[in-house]
A = this chain, B = another copy of it.
């Protein structure tokens, strides 16, 4: 048979079979009572996931569309925004702001490190006119987490809002929007949600809505205020991505069944075993800062090309992981157990990495990483 395939990339991720089935049901009309009922249900499920009493808007777009809405709906051209740039996605906040004429103050973070909240505080102190701080909860390009809780605290009593790209964090790690004072939180369907790509989600605090009322950056398709109004009657402004919202109902049911705590503990357990396993294999992890729970960035062993490891995983072993992006191309490869993932996905990940490196003639403690992962994953 052809190679059996395993999707262990930081998104898109495997979609559970019951969700695939649900999405294969006949199409329903978005202005029909069936849809209204469905939408009412997912609306509540999203509040549970976001740990918020605020409405969470659903956009027919992938994550970057959600990020764009988090700029254009809250700022005006000429406004000043601080953004944390510690990787490809941090950099994207700066590019979106620039595209809309928003002045940016960059908090540059060396790739592989987490931002020091003191650096954000210094930027806020130096720029009391800044309207917002843009940051990633998990910077997928470097496999590093930023301390969004600390950043939320910094702006809690300021006029500025904290805007979090939680695309590889929501449904993976704890992002209690209300408790942590996070004002705008963006997520996307193809990560912790276990869905195909095509939906973006945006939660908005009362403080951010006040900023929205004066925001002048042009926008039409991504209009969060109109979406909030339509949410009241369980509708979207424009045609929604119906089949993905049908899938959303199923995954939100699964999350409730497992509980948020269960979801977070499972991801933490798998990510921890992956990291410790790969270290026992003799590999070095890329992050110097707090590692992301969503994705593990691994250094290619001395003298090896990370892209070759990534390709060998795919072509010889059927495992789709991810290579390095931009300046990390060749230096690292990335592997994830995200969303619909459990114990033996982690075992597969560690075993496959050991075997791919061995296949390429690299030095690795074959079996040692798997054993370490087994120890950590043993059921109590």
Contact = CB atoms under 8 A, between A and B. Distances in A.
Interface residues of A, number: 53
A242 B9 CA distance: 14
Given A60-B197, A241-B196, A241-B241, A218 B221 contact: no
A127 interface: no
Contacts of A196: 27, 241-244
A201 interface: no
A314 B32 contact: yes
A217 interface: yes
A88 to B, nearest CB: 12
A26 B7 CA distance: 9
Contact of A197 (B64, B197, B240): B240
A358 B189 CA distance: 45
Interface in A210-233: 217-222
Contact of A239 (B62, B100, B239): B62
Interface in A159-189: 188
Nearest to A194: B27
Contacts of A344: none
Contact of A23 (B31, B218, B243): B243
Interface in A4-44: 5, 7, 9, 11-15, 20-21, 23-32
Contacts of A220: 64, 68, 95-96, 99-100
A199 B197 CA distance: 11
Interface string A37-74: 00000000000000000000000111111001000000
A37 to B, nearest CB: 14
A76 to B, nearest CB: 12
Contact of A15 (B15, B26, B63, B222): B26
Nearest to A26: B14
B26 A12 contact: no
A367 interface: no
Given A95-B220, A240-B197, A15 B31 contact: no
A117 interface: no
Given A65-B60, A314-B32, A219 B26 contact: no
Interface in A239-254: 239-244
A21 B30 CA distance: 21
Contacts of A60: 60-62, 65, 197-198
A64 B238 contact: yes
Nearest to A72: B218
Contact of A14 (B27, B221, B240): B27
A218 B13 contact: no
Nearest to A167: B239
A377 to B, nearest CB: 24
A320 interface: yes
Interface string A239-282: 11111100000000000000000000000000000000000000
Given A21-B24, A196-B243, 8 more contacts: A12-B30, A20-B26, A27-B196, A29-B322, A30-B197, A32-B320, A197-B239, A221-B222
29 contacts: A5-B26, A7-B26, A7-B28, A12-B27, A12-B242, A15-B27, A20-B25, A27-B190, A27-B196, A32-B314, A60-B198, A61-B65, A61-B221, A63-B239, A64-B221, A65-B238, A68-B221, A96-B220, A99-B220, A190-B242, A196-B244, A197-B243, A198-B241, A198-B242, A198-B244, A217-B218, A218-B218, A221-B222, A243-B244
